[in-house]
A and B are shown apart, each in its own frame.
Chain A
Amino acid sequence: MTGSVSPRQIRGIVLKQSRRANVGHIGSALSIADIIAALFGGVLRGGGPSDPDRDRFILSKGHAALALYAALSLTGRLSAESLDTFCADNSLLGVHPERGLGGVDFSTGSLGHGLSIGVGAALAARLQGSARRVFVVVSDAECNEGSLWEAVMFAAHHRLGNLVTIVDLNGQQAFGYTADVLSLSPMADRWRAFGWDVHEVDGHDVGALAGALEGLDSGGAPHVIVAKTKFGKGVSFMEGKIKWHYWPVSDDELRLALEEIEEGA
C-alpha cells in the first residue's frame, strides 16, 4: 500500500463515478480526499486483506465510500471494471462500504458504530502482541452519536495508543451546519478532555497529515487528528453547500468541477 495516491485523482474519480451512477454524497467524499490520500499513500501498512498484521482502516463515515473506492482503485486493489459497478445492481460497491469487497474490513454507514469496532480491533492487536495499528475516519457530525463517546472513553482508559481517529471537521451535516444543529465546538478540547492525544491539522495538506500520522507512537494515549476540512473541497460551487450532501452532478457541472480540480492541483 505504498506509493503516492493523488488527491486530485481521488476527486476526479469521485466526481465521475457520482455522475455515472447519478448518486450524491459528493461533498463528504471530496472533504476527505486528502485524508484518504495520506492514509493510502503510505501510512497504512500491511500485506493486503489476508495479512492478519495489516493495519486496519475503518471509514466510519461510510457515506464517503467513493473516496475509499477511489483509493482502492488507485492502489491497484480494485479494477476499473469493478469501480464502474458503483451503485449498479449486483455490485459490492454501494453508497456505503461493504465487507466482502477486498480492502474493506468492516461494513459501515451507521454513524457512531465504527470507532467502537476500531477500539476492539486495537485491543485485539494489543492482546496478540501485534504492532498493527487501527485508523478510523469519523465525521464531525458523527460525534453527535453517544456511542462514539463510549468508545472514546474506553480507548482513553485503556491507553490504546495503537488507535488513531481522524475527525473530518468540515462543519456540515445532513440537514444543516454543525454549529447550528448540535454544536461540538471546540472539537479538539472535547477529545483532549477525554484523555486523547490531540493533533489539529489542515485536513487538505497531505504532507502535514502524513507527517502527523507517521509521527504517532503506539505506546501512550490514543490519538486523534482533528482535520480541519472544507465540505466539497476543490469544487467552488460545492464548497460549504448542504445541497451537495445529496445531489449528483449534471454533465455540465461535472465538466466545470473537473476543470477546477485540474486547475487546483
Chain B
Amino acid sequence: MRAAFVRAVQDAAEKDPRVVLLTGDLGYSVLEPFAERFPDRFFNAGVAEQNMVGMATGLSEAGFIPFVYSIVTFATLRPYEFIRNGPIFHRLPVRIVGVGGGFEYGHAGPTHYGLEDIAVMRAQPGITCIAPADHEQAAAAIRATWALPGPVYYRLGKDDRTTVPGLAGMFAIGRAQQIREGGDLAIVAMGAIASEAAAAAQMLASEGERLSASVLVVASVTPPPVDDLLDVLSKVPLVITVEAHSVNGGVGSLVAEVIAENGLSCRLVRCGVRALLEGPFGGQDFMQRQQGISREAIASTARRAVSSVGP
C-alpha cells in the first residue's frame, strides 16, 4: 500500500497546491517520486515525530493539507498527544500516515509492531480512521478522504501486490465491504489481515464441514459502518473478528459495541493480540500464526466456535 499511497498523494498534490508531505526520516525507495516531483512540498522532518505533527498543525492552520508519514507506532503512539491537542482539537486537515500495522515489521521486533494504533485513534471522536485491506482499497480510500476538512489517520500495509478477493478496490466512508456471503457465521476483518480472513472463509467452505461464512471488510473504522455490521450480524449466530491489533479497542471492540448497543444475539469471538508479547519473535507470518490470526488459526477458531454455538 506504500506505493499506492505515494501515487494517490501525488495525484492529490497535482490537483491541489495545499498538499505537502512530511516524513519522519522514513520512506526510502517509496517517497522519492513525490520528493522529486514536488521538492518544495516535501520535508524530511528528521527523526522527530512530535515536532513533525506539531509543524503539520501550524501548516494546516495556514491552509495546507499536510501528510505526515512514519511507521505506525512512531506515527501514532510517540506523538499521540500532539495529534490530540493539535489537529484533533483544532479540527485541522492533518493526515497521519502509519505504515506497517500489526506484525508487518516482524523481524524488527516488538518496538516496531503496531498493535494499539486503532484503539488510541478510535478513542478520539474528531479523527477519521482508515485501515485499508489492500493497495487497491488504500488508493480508493485516499482518493475519497484526502480532502476532508478534519484530520485523518491512515493505517497502511507495506504490501503492494496482494489483493483481497472480491474487494476490487471498493471503499466508502462509514461503510463496510461485504466480499463473501454465508449464513453459518460472519468474519469481520480490519486492515491488511483481511486477506487471511478471506482465505480462512475459503478453507471453511471447501473442507468437509462446508461452513459458509459472510466476510466483511472494515476499512472505515471511524466513522464506523454500523448499519452494514447490523445488516450482516443480525443474520448469523456467530461473528469472528480478525485484526492484526490488540483485541482491545480495535475492530473486535467495535463489533462488541455494535452487538451490545443494538441487542443482537450474535455471539462474538475476537481474533487478535490478547497478551503482552514474549519472545521468541519472528517474521510476519510466524507472528500471525503465533497470535492466532493466520488463515489456519482463524479457520480453526471458527470451527471451534461454530461447534460450541451449535446448529
**Interface residues in chain A, defined as those with a beta carbon under 8 Å from any beta carbon in chain B:** 52, 56, 99, 105-107, 110, 112-113, 115-125, 127-128, 134, 146-147, 150-151, 153-154, 157
Contacts and interface: CB of A to CB of B under 8 A. Distances in A.
B54 interface: yes
B55 A119 contact: yes
B85 A119 contact: no
19 contacts: A52-B62, A105-B61, A106-B61, A106-B90, A107-B85, A113-B82, A113-B85, A116-B82, A117-B55, A117-B58, A118-B58, A119-B55, A120-B55, A124-B62, A124-B64, A125-B62, A127-B41, A128-B62, A134-B58
A65 B60 CA distance: 24
A154 B62 contact: no
Given A113-B81, A116-B50, A120-B54, 5 more contacts: A52-B63, A119-B58, A120-B55, A124-B61, A153-B51
A117 B57 CA distance: 6
Contacts of A106: 57-58, 61, 90
Interface of B, secondary structure class, is helix
A56 B61 CA distance: 10
A105 B59 CA distance: 12
Contacts of B45: 154
A163 to B, nearest CB: 10
B120 interface: no
Nearest to A128: B62
B252 interface: no
Contacts of A153: 46, 48, 51
Given A118-B58, A121-B59, A110 B81 contact: yes
B89 interface: yes
Nearest to A117: B58
Contacts of A119: 51, 54-55, 58
Interface string B71-105: 00000000001100110011000000000000000
B40 interface: yes
Contacts of A121: 58-59, 61-62
B91 to A, nearest CB: 9
A118 B51 CA distance: 10
Contacts of A99: 89-90
A147 B40 CA distance: 24
Interface string B15-53: 000001000000000000000000011010110101101
Nearest to A58: B58
A124 B58 contact: yes
A112 to B, nearest CB: 8
B242 interface: no
B58 A150 contact: no
B54 A127 contact: no
A99 B51 CA distance: 20
B232 interface: no
B58 A123 contact: yes
